[in-house]
């Protein structure tokens, strides 16, 4: 059992990443305070809290092409709100105070009264209906989650009724991603350059791929933020973010690679908080392209990787080697027997598949996909070279990577994925069906299992079905799943009431500074 698995979902405070170097770091590290530039939160408390993520916020349309990007979701959770949230493993009320099922295909939600958008207009069921209709009809990455919606009705201002074509056991989990917009304004030209929501923060200014500046909404159903503002700058380089955290230019940052955690040792006024994460690295094979259409080749490449050593050397205790195509913290995770590290067996299997003379192929990724992604790619490429698989490294820009990924114009690809809802359907049911065709892999048995898992409200049955889905995907070696990452946050000690979250999308409404 890995160090995170035994902890489940409960919050723990630690410094991760020290294990690789044999260094034991305290939870509260000591050293130097912010310089006298007046940039730190202690210098008056009138400047916005600065929270730096390693990915760029490109778009503020919560139903658009970037709807499942981590950076966009981070922004969306501050600006907009959803009917349902999550409290650990369970759904929790947000804009909806309660819900019920009159029958297995119908859900009725009672809305919170008195909620307003940032322009002061009242949020009603008409806004919820318009937003969910827009989301269900969109061609964005959330589309598979809403394919079973039949009708959305607003019988009165505080009631929403959703009817599905079949029982939908994932509806509450999916609704945690369904951000509500004002029906009267969401179609306006330029609306998403400075959008309006009902979240705790309103947009003050937005420069795509650079910075989002937010100010506290005048009111919020859970209480207005006490922060003077919230700044979300894009700082891709981990070393730069760590320097900014140390000198007080940044108050919160995440995800932090283990090598960067080491430099925080001895720095006064900082602390590290961590949560078992929903983020993980995956390396898909293009199963619709030779030679990866042959599962023997895919399994051989598994056997060529000493993932325990690779992950330990790169990440220490900040990551665990995965034993399924989804992380242990996800509902539906079922551990599988790891592929043994056996280069001789890998060579034998490649020869049996007709590749005794080796294979020439390529691996694509984009630099900011995750911590130490380039180093991870290089480690994998080096290991495969030892069994005669020569891989051309292709580190490309994210826009080009997305274009090639969706067009299946690649051999092997590396990325970080996030099971944002904490439910297996978000990843397995959205990405691994024949209809989705995200990696050229098609399996009718798996399709049936994933459909049944989505269309039953029996959560124990769903868990069992996802266990079977994990087994099939793992057995067929659709990809290599190197590491589940901890969600690790670095904070100035002046930051209070911050709650680390597994999905790397923290909410800042309740945060204060001292």
Integer angstrom CA distances of residue 490 from 16, 296, 314, 461 = 11, 43, 19, 39
> Does an H or E element contain 488, and which?
strand 483-492
User: Which residues of the chain fall short of a pLDDT of 50?
Assistant: 1-44
Q: Which of 207, 274, 272 shows the shortest CA–CA distance to 11?
A: 274
Domains in the chain, start-ordered, CATH in brackets? 80-191 (3.90.76.10), 279-485 (3.10.105.10)
Please report how the helices 373-385 and 307-315 are oriented relative to each other, as an axis angle in degrees rounded to 10: 150
What gap in Å lies between CA 417 and CA 482, rounded to an integer? 12
> b or e along 495-507 (b: 16 or more beta carbons within 10 Å of the residue's beta carbon)?
beebebbbbbbbb
Which residues on neighbouring strands pair with residue 423, listed in sequence order?
331
Count of helices and strands (H, E) across the chain: 14, 21
The residue behind tokens 């290991």 is 383
Residue range 146-172, pLDDT digits in tens: 989 999 999 999 999 999 999 999 999
What gap in Å lies between CA 339 and CA 371, rounded to an integer? 24
- What does the pLDDT read at residue 22? 28
Q: Compute φ and ψ for 468, nearest 5 degrees.
A: -65, -40
First to last CA, the chain: 39
- Read off the pTM: 0.78
Using DSSP, state whether 265 is helix, strand or coil. Answer: coil
488 close to 42: Cβ distance less than 8 angstroms: no
Dmax (CA) for the chain in angstroms is 70
Peptide bond before residue 274 is cis, with ω within 30 degrees of 0: no
Which residues on neighbouring strands pair with residue 232, listed in sequence order?
212
What gap in Å lies between CA 404 and CA 396, rounded to an integer? 10
60 close to 72: Cβ distance less than 8 angstroms: yes
Q: Which string of DSSP letters, residue by residue, matches 343-386?
A: HHHHHHHHHHTT-TT-EEEEEEE-GGGSTTHHHHHHHHHHHHHT
Residue range 52-103, pLDDT digits in tens: 998 899 999 999 999 988 899 999 999 999 999 988 778 899 999 999 999 9
Residue range 371-419, pLDDT digits in tens: 899 999 999 999 999 999 999 999 999 989 999 999 999 999 999 999 9
Query: How many Cβ atoms are within 10 Å of 189's Cβ, its own excluded?
Result: 6
What gap in Å lies between CA 501 and CA 273, rounded to an integer? 10
Integer angstrom CA distances of residue 415 from 84, 292, 305 = 28, 18, 17
- What does the pLDDT read at residue 461? 95
């Amino acid at each position: 059992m890995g160090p995170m698995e035994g902890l489940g979902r409960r919050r723990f405070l630690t410094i991760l990443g020290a294990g690789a170097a044999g260094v034991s770091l305290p939870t509260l590290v000591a050293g130097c305070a912010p310089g006298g530039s007046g940039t730190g939160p202690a210098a008056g408390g009138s400047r916005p809290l600065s929270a730096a993520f390693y990915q760029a916020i490109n778009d503020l349309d919560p139903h658009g092409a970037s709807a499942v990007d981590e950076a966009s979701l981070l922004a969306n959770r501050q600006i907009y709100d959803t009917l349902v949230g999550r409290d650990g493993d369970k759904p929790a009320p947000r804009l909806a105070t309660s819900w019920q099922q009159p029958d297995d295909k119908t859900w009725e939600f009672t809305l919170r009264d008195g909620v307003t958008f940032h322009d002061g207009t009242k949020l009603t069921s008409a806004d919820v209906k318009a937003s969910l209709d827009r989301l269900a009809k969109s061609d964005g990455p959330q589309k598979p989650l809403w394919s079973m919606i039949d009708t959305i009705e607003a019988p009165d201002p505080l009631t929403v009724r959703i009817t599905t074509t079949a029982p939908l056991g994932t509806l509450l989990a999916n609704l945690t991603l369904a951000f509500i917009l004002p029906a009267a304004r969401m179609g306006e030209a330029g609306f998403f350059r400075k959008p309006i929501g009902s979240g705790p923060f309103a947009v003050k200014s937005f420069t795509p791929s650079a910075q989002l500046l937010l100010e506290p909404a005048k009111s919020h159903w859970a209480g207005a933020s006490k922060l003077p503002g919230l700044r979300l700058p894009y700082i891709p380089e981990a070393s730069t973010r760590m320097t900014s955290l140390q000198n007080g230019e940044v108050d919160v940052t995440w995800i932090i690679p283990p090598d960067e955690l080491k430099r925080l040792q001895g720095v006064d006024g900082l602390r590290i908080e961590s949560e078992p994460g929903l983020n993980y690295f995956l390396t898909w094979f293009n199963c619709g392209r030779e030679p990866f259409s042959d599962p023997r080749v895919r399994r051989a490449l598994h056997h060529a990787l000493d993932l325990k050593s690779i992950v330990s050397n790169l990440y220490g205790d900040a990551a665990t080697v995965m034993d399924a195509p989804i992380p242990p913290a996800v509902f539906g995770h079922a551990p599988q027997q790891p592929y043994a590290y056996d280069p001789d067996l890998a060579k034998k299997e490649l020869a049996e598949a007709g590749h005794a003379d080796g294979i020439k192929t390529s691996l694509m990724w984009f630099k900011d996909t995750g911590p130490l992604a380039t180093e991870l790619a290089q480690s994998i490429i080096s290991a495969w070279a030892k069994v005669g698989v020569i891989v051309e490294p292709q580190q490309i820009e994210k826009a080009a990577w997305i274009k090639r990924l969706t067009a299946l114009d690649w051999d092997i690809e590396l990325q970080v994925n996030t099971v944002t809802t904490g439910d297996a359907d978000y990843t397995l049911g959205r990405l691994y069906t024949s209809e989705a065709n995200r990696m050229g892999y098609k399996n009718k048995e798996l399709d049936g299992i994933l459909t049944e898992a989505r269309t039953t409200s029996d959560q124990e049955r769903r868990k069992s079905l996802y266990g079977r889905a994990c087994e099939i995907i793992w057995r067929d070696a659709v990809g290599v799943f190197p590491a589940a990452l901890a969600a690790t946050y670095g904070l100035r000690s002046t930051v209070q009431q911050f709650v680390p979250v597994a999905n790397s999308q923290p909410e800042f409404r309740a945060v204060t500074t001292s």
